[in-house]
Structure 1
Amino acid sequence: MTNKVALVTGASSGIGEATARELQSLGFTVYGAARRTDRLQKLSADGIRALAMDVTDDVSMQAGIERIIAETGRIDVLVNNAGYGSYGALEDVDIDEGRRQFEVNVFGAIRLAQLALPHMRKQRSGTIVNITSMGGRLHTPLGGWYHGTKFALEALSDCLRLEVAPFGIDVVVVEPGGIATEWGGIAATHLEETSGTGAYKAQADAVAKSLRSEANVNRNSPPSVIADAIGKGVTARRPRTRYAVGFGAKPLIAARGLLTDRAFDSLISRATGLPRT
C-alpha cells in the first residue's frame, strides 16, 4: 500500500477532505485537489499533497496528472468528488449555468478519467471512483440540472466500467444520501437567488426550507461514512459497482424502484413540502 497513489478532487472540505484523510490512513500517497490550495492547508500540514486544480480548466487538470506521475510514477485511485448543486426551476436557470453544472459535475470527472487511464492501463490496475448521489437515481423538484448531471455520470460510469475491465481497472459509483456538509445551504441559497421570485416562488421557498431543515440536517450522516465506503471500494479485491450510503440513500432509491412515477412524485412533493395544486 505504501507505493499506491490517490487523487481526490474537491478535497478542501466535506466528503473530499474526509476521503483524503481516509485514504492516507490506508497507506496511500494522497493528492488533494481544489481550485485554491490555501483551503488545503490543514491537509498539507498532515502530509497530504496539495494540488491546485480547476475541473473546468483542461490545462490545470493535465498539469495535475503530470505532476503526480512525475513525482510518483503512477496513479492508482482517482476519486472524482468535485461538484456542486445548481438548484432552480428549469425555466429560470440560465442555460450557461446549466452548462457550467455539467462542466463541473460531468465533463471534469470524465476528462480526469481520460487523463488517468493511460497510466492505469500501463499498470494493468487502478480504480476510478465517481461520486454521484442518490440524486442520480431519483428526482426532486427544482433540481433538474443537478439531477441531470448525476444521472449522466451514473450512465457514463456504467459504460466506462465495461470498457476498462479488460485492463484490470475498476469503476466504482458512490451514491451519498443526506450528508452533513455545506452543500444543502449553498444549494438553498442558489435556489432562492434563481427562483425565489416569480412563478416558482412558492416551490422555491418550500424546497429551500427543506434543504435547510434542522430536522433533516440533524439526521444527515457525517462525511466519514462516504469516506469509509470509498476506502472499502478501493481496497477490495472485487469492489461493488455501487455503494449507496448516508441518510436516506438506500430507502429512497428502493422506493424509486418500487413506486410508479406518479406515486414517487407524490412522495417527494410531500417530503419537500411543495404547495398543493
Structure 2
Amino acid sequence: MHQKSVLITGCSSGIGRETALQFLDEEWEVYATARNPADIETLGERGATIATLDVTDQSDVDRVVDRIIDEQGRIDCLVNNAGYGQLGPIEDVPTEMVHDQFDVNVYGPHRLTRAVLPHMRAQEDGTIINVSSVVGRVSFPGTGVYAGSKFALEAMTDALRGEVEAYGIDAVLIEPGPVETQFTERVDVEVNGGDKTDGIERSGAYETIYKLLDDTAALGGSGPGAIPPAHVAADIVNAASSTKPRARYQSGPVARATVLGRFVPDAWRDALYGLVRKFL
C-alpha cells in the first residue's frame, strides 16, 4: 500500500500545525505550507515537507500541487485550513476588506480544490477537508464578514460533496467552536498588519459591539468551552483516514451546542442579542 500524502494550508500555528503533527504521527507524507516558510521550519525538522504557499496566489497553488504529484504520484487529502477573521459591524467594514476576507477564506480553498480534483478523479479516491467554523452556520453581530465567508465555504462544500461522490472523493467540513489558539490575536493581522479592527471605518453607531469584540475571551481563545487545537486536528485526521467520513464534524461541546441555534426562531436569537447589549 502506498504511503498516503496530504497537503495542509495555514500550518504556521494552531490547528494547522497540530494537524501536520498528527498526520506525521500516523505516518502520512505531509506537505505543510504557510505564507512564511520560517514559521514552519520546525515541522520540516519533524519530517514534513514544507513549502511556501499563499492561497491567494494561483501560481503558488499550481506549483505546490504539481510538486506533490511529481514527488508522490498522487494526492490523497487536501486540508484547507488557512484563514483569518475580519471582525466589525457590516456598515463599518470597507468592501475592500470584505474582498480580502473572501480571497483567503473562500477563493483560496476554491483555487486549491480545483487544482487537486483532476488528480483525485484520475486516482478515483481522495478527501477534501475544509476547516469552517461554528459561525459558518450561526452568525453573530460583529462577525458578519467572517461568518459570511464561512457560510459560503459551507455551501460550496455541500455542493461539492454531491458533485464528486461518483468519483470516490469525499468532501468534509470541520466546524470548530472556540479553540485555544492565537486566532483572536491574529485576527486581521494576516492581511492588514495590525489590530483586529485596523482598517475599520468606525461610524460610532456600534460601540457596544466593539466592546464585545475587545473581549477576546468572548470570541474564543481563553474563553469558556475552548478546546485545544489538537482536538480539532484529531477530527481532521479521523475524517481523512475514514473510508466513509461524516459530512460535518463539530469540534468541541460549544460547537455542538451552538449549531442547534439554527433551529431557534430568529426572533428569539435577536432578542438574546438585544439582552446582551443591555449588559455591555
Name the TM-score, length of structure 1 as normaliser: 0.92
In 1: Cα distance, 2:144 partner to 2:32 partner:
29
CA contact (8 A) 2:176 2:255 kept: yes
The alignment yields a C-alpha RMSD, in angstroms, of 2.1
Runs of 4+ aligned structure 1 residues displaced above 6 Å come to none
Secondary structure (helix, strand or coil) at the match of 1:243 reads strand
Secondary structure (helix, strand or coil) at the match of 1:24 reads helix
| TM alignment of 1:231-270, pairs within 5 A | 231-257=237-263, 259-268=264-273, 270=275
**Which of 269, 274, 277 matches 1:274?**
277
In 1: Cα distance, 2:14 partner to 2:185 partner:
13
CA contact (8 A) 2:34 2:52 kept: yes
Secondary structure (helix, strand or coil) at the match of 1:141 reads coil
CA contact (8 A) 1:191 1:208 kept: no
> Counterpart of 2:225?
219
Give, in angstroms, the shift of residue 51 of structure 1. Answer: 1.0
Give, in angstroms, the shift of residue 206 of structure 1. Answer: 2.0
In 1: Cα distance, 2:47 partner to 2:222 partner:
34
| Paired residue type of 1:274 | R
CA contact (8 A) 2:212 2:218 kept: no
> Counterpart of 1:140?
140
| Distance change >3 Å, CA 50–CA 148, structure 1 → 2 | same
In 2: Cα distance, 1:10 partner to 1:2 partner:
26
| Distance change >3 Å, CA 211–CA 196, structure 1 → 2 | farther
In 2: Cα distance, 1:276 partner to 1:5 partner:
50
Give, in angstroms, the shift of residue 169 of structure 1. Answer: 0.3
CA contact (8 A) 1:256 1:264 kept: no
In 2: Cα distance, 1:62 partner to 1:274 partner:
47
Q: Which moved more, 1:120-129 or 1:186-195?
A: 186-195
CA contact (8 A) 2:184 2:220 kept: no
1:207 aligns with 2:210: no
In 2: Cα distance, 1:33 partner to 1:146 partner:
22
The percent identity for this pair of structures is 38
CA contact (8 A) 2:182 2:221 kept: no
> Counterpart of 2:26?
26
> Counterpart of 2:192?
none
Give, in angstroms, the shift of residue 211 of structure 1. Answer: 4.1
Structure 1: unaligned runs, 5 residues or longer: none
Give, in angstroms, the shift of residue 185 of structure 1. Answer: 2.8
| Distance change >3 Å, CA 276–CA 57, structure 1 → 2 | same
Structure 2: unaligned runs, 5 residues or longer: 189-194
| Distance change >3 Å, CA 48–CA 19, structure 1 → 2 | same
| TM alignment of 1:92-111, pairs within 5 A | 92-111=92-111
Q: Which moved more, 1:242-251 or 1:124-133?
A: 242-251
Secondary structure (helix, strand or coil) at the match of 1:190 reads coil
Number of paired residues? 274
| TM alignment of 1:1-277, pairs within 5 A | 3-187=3-187, 189-191=195-197, 194=200, 198-209=204-215, 211=217, 216-217=222-223, 219-257=225-263, 259-268=264-273, 270=275, 273-275=276-278
In 2: Cα distance, 1:275 partner to 1:68 partner:
54
| Paired residue type of 2:271 | S
